Amino acid sequence: MQTKLGSDNRRLELGTQEHSGRRRVASTDSSTRTSSSTPNSSSTSVLDQQQHQQLQLHQRRASQHQHQHPYDFPTTVGTCTDRLTATTEPGPMSVSPYSPCSPEVRFPIKEQPSYFEAPSAVTSNTHTMKARSQSPTTEQIPPPIALPSLQLRRPSLPITSLARETPSQIRALTPDQLVDLLQQAPGATVVDIRPYCDYTLSRVKGALHFCIPSTFLKRASYSFRRTVDNMLPEQRHAFDNLADLPPLVIYDRSSEHLQTSQSNLYHTLMKFVTAEGWPADQTAHYLVGGLDAWSRNDRVAANGLLDSEMYKCEGRPPEFGAIGFTRATANLADANAIPFPLVTSGLRQNPLFKSVRAAMEVQDDEYIEVQLPVDLEPSDNHPDWVKTILSDPLEASKKMAAEFRSLEQAEKNRMFGALSIKSDSENYFDRRYSISGIELGVKNRYDNIYPYEHTRVKLARKTQGCDYINASHISSAHSKRVYIATQAPLPETFADFFHMIWEEKVPVIVQLAPEFEGAMLKCHNYWGEGTHGPYTVRVIATRKEDVDTKDNIVATIRTFEVSREGVVRHVTQIFYDAWPDLGRPANPADLLRLMELKDGILKHAKLPVDGTKVVVHCSAGCGRTGTFCAIDIVCDILQRGDPQYQHKDVVAEVVAELRTQRTSMVQSLRQYVLCYDSVLAWLAKRQ
């Protein structure tokens, strides 16, 4: 409908231009007709003279139309701006500055009206338009309709970039004012919120360290006391009594103001002034220019107020109080980029790893209620954990949140142990795990998701002397289903990806992420025809399979022909793009349908469902990928009906097991609850 209306408006515009041209020509003809003479007028009849005058009139009209038509342009190559400024009578509607034709784009200009030019007049009745060859009309044409200039709304700014009003309790403090304050009694309580690695190198003399991700600072449920608990152990006592606290001054690296809602400086100040026990008339200050301005101040150097000695943490570091952003990501701290807290001992730390685990942490009072299928009836054959959910869904949901918090903490301990360089005597972290591929940046889609060394897929035929691919072998001691969890391949790793498919003899790929999510590229198109190293890929069949007929959700089934050195193999891809990142599908039963498609493809190829490796990937190869694998494994366990699982929560056990094989498998609480929702839907379907 939109295309038809556009074409109708186009014809109206062209017809209006012709009508306007005829009217101007007619007025010119009437003014010059008395003075014009015709050749051989003495020897021709009156009828011949009239015919000759009409012929001359048409010739003059054609000549004037060629040179005076307001929408006629020279046939030259120029810019869109040249074409618009070539008109003698610009239209009343202004041209949009967001036109797809920018002044830098050059193209041949044809002798036709411009699509971007507005008509100079619009008739009230389009049926009165006549062909160019007809005589000009004598009816009165209404004046052009005055059209207002095209008003375009400015692009919306993200809400995080809007200015925020600074509370009256927060005030700015210059470096000179802080020098004066420190030299007076009782001095000041100075807080450094930069990354710990920077704090250990230099700081305002006597400054405390208080680096908390803004993800937690912005949460009302994350109380001030919880933030203090994550400070350095020897510094926590400084905030025992906020009412008697000396003037508080907080600084970061170089902030000049607080007019950004993403600023950690702003949220740290707000955490103080809104804390329980903070007097209403007490002010908090921030250092204008941060430590950069402090280190450049002459009075600071003269009074020795810049401490550059190494700072060493006393005792065991807290969860992320004595830990912080790496120096490589320090300038991203104000942009709410939350890297993984790295364990440090003095200045010794691993600066190469960060993770979204800190941002995903679930608070004590947070839970997501499980969805009970309408047609699921209680049964004595159900495992105990299913009976518990059916009897009290709300309490069961809170228990799921607590279990997920335990899974999060266990993964943190694994990561701390894998990355820590502390002495062997400090054994409060799990040291059985090590990370691979940190130094191979070009082969990793994200710089916070890496495989464990003990489960990573190792390419037998090394590419460029390297056997690495960001992929992990996934299995369970409770099931014979096996998978390879991997990231969405990059163009630089397409050859590695198909090399893995070839070596591991993978018949099915389950893709759970779309190519784009919003404006972000989540998965490069590896399924298009092309040659990647020694492998030639060609799509030979594509079809759609219904996943949810009610919501019109489908899965795309593609069959590849992968060939190498004359040998051809077929690989089938199940492409499902209705699952948002860190979220869940609209219907938990969608995943059950995907599992049916996967099993059906294997059976059709006369391959065993148990023991055949299936590649599963989303974008990072952990959240959605882990959720799919966990649900498939749990359903397989329940289908076999082994009595030993009657009294075990197999969902929690399987997710915990998968997390020891690849980081962040089942990445969020929402995905963790989705595992239960899908298994309950599977049980309801079998009743």
HEC string of 416-470 equals HHHHCCCCCCCCCCCCCCCECCCCCHHHCCCCCCCEECCCEEEEEEEECCEEEEE
d(CA 293, CA 275): 29
141 in a structural domain = no
358 in a structural domain = no
**What pLDDT score was predicted for residue 92?**
41
On whether the pTM is more than 0.75, the answer is no
Residue 199 structural domain: 165-349
546 lies in the same domain as 671: yes
First-to-last CA distance in the chain? 48
**What pLDDT score was predicted for residue 517?**
83
Angle at 204 between CA 203 and CA 209, to 5 degrees: 60
594 in a structural domain = yes
335 lies in the same domain as 388: no
**What pLDDT score was predicted for residue 111?**
43
175 lies in the same domain as 306: yes
368 in a structural domain = no
Domain boundary among 331, 349, 367: 349
Q: Judge residue 672's burial from the number of C-beta atoms within 10 Å of its C-beta, 0-12 exposed, 13-18 middle, 19 or more buried.
A: buried
203 lies in the same domain as 111: no
**What pLDDT score was predicted for residue 297?**
93
**Two structure tokens written together for 15:** 């017809």
Q: Tell me, what CATH number does 606's domain have? A: 3.90.190.10
**Two structure tokens written together for 485:** 């969890």
d(CA 591, CA 372): 16
**What pLDDT score was predicted for residue 135?**
45
99 lies in the same domain as 236: no
186 in a structural domain = yes
d(CA 285, CA 188): 10
The amino acid present at 270, given as its one-letter code, is M
Domain boundary among 128, 153, 178: 128
189 lies in the same domain as 111: no
455 lies in the same domain as 513: yes
Q: How many domains does the chain have?
A: 3
360 in a structural domain = no
Q: Tell me, what CATH number does 188's domain have? A: 3.40.250.10
291 in a structural domain = yes
**Two structure tokens written together for 580:** 């948002």
439 lies in the same domain as 306: no
279 in a structural domain = yes
87 lies in the same domain as 182: no
- Residues (pLDDT < 70) of the chain are 1-54, 57-166, 213-216, 218-219, 221, 259-262, 312-365, 419-431, 463-464, 582-583
* Residues whose CB is less than 8 angstroms from the CB of residue 109 and which lie 6 or more positions away in sequence, other chains included: 73, 74, 75, 76, 77, 78, 82, 83
107 lies in the same domain as 172: no
**What pLDDT score was predicted for residue 257?**
79
Domain boundary among 290, 323, 349: 349
**Two structure tokens written together for 626:** 């882990």
531 lies in the same domain as 400: yes
d(CA 432, CA 454): 9
433 lies in the same domain as 498: yes
Cα dihedral 52, 54, 56, 62 sign:
negative
Half-sphere exposure of 205 toward its Cβ, with a 13 Å CA cutoff? 15
